[in-house]
Structure 1
Amino acid sequence: MKYLSRHLLAILLGAFALGTQAQAEDFRVGFVNTDRIFREANTAKTAQAKLEQEFSKREKDLNDLGNTLKNASDKFEREAPTLSESQRAQRQKQLVDQDRDFQRKRREFQEDLNSRKNEELQQVLERANRVVKQVAEAEKYDVVLQEAVYINPKHDITDKVIKALNSAK
């Protein structure tokens, strides 16, 4: 009886192994590099240009304010030895207040820029995911990964996705 059970188990395991081998041959895996999509797809480039246009004036104003503050600080350093104690304290307080205002504006700018960048990239990612799904369905992929430690280049479908994204209206 034990011999029959072991023999039957061996046959079942062998059949299972053959069945999974046949299924594994039909299983298709694809990989998409989202960083490349964000760099190379026209929608991502358009989003980047839109952000640059939207924030360029504010960035220039901020840089000008930083330069003005630096020049005022340099002037204070040069003139400090000749100023009276009260004048020095007053100018120092003005510089500290201006620097605090500059840091606040710079932080607000960075937060606004990051927020808008995330919004734009989210839209690009949503479009890219729709295209990935279309490519996967058209080419009968079972799974498409966006993150992997290693991927064989033959499974990379990023070029197909970028081409489809760029040709879509």
Structure 2
Amino acid sequence: MSKNVKTIKELADELGTNKTRISRIINKNSIPTQKIKNKIVLEDNSVSLIRQYFKNETQLQNETVSILRTELDKAHSHIEKLSNLLDQQQRLALQDKKLLEEYKAEINDLKALKMPSQDTKEEQANSQPQEELETLKEQIRALNDKIKGQEQLNNQVSKKWYQFWK
């Protein structure tokens, strides 16, 4: 036996692991061993095989970490985009709310114009042209439709971000 030999314990200490792990690698990969004085020893070629196994394992771990980092960066990018979209949605909802309030105020103004006092109601109806009344009615209907549309849009926009997938 002129070759250098190492015990499993010596190799485990050198590689920074434990004897059990080295034994599992030996059994899993059918690495040749010898028994000297009730101790299992490894020759240089077996030690080289185990070192190569650790080197390959380390490379695999590094590749996995690299892939995970890439996926994490992609997820972070998606989160940023979703956050921006949520901010935009909230701004739009606020704009819609303001427009809705403006439309309601405008409708109230039109309603005030439309409702004459009781004593002059007949006089105004007789003196006001029929076309002008129809135009005002159309404007009121159009504004009511706008308000309904804005309320529907506001209801749609005010959904929470976590309900997008429902």
The interval holding the TM-score normalised by the smaller chain is 0.3 to 0.5
TM-score, structure 1 as length reference = 0.36
TM-score, structure 2 as length reference = 0.36
> Which structure is higher in helix share?
1
Larger Rg: 2
Structure showing greater relative contact order (alpha-carbon pairs closer than 8 Å, 6 or more residues apart): 1
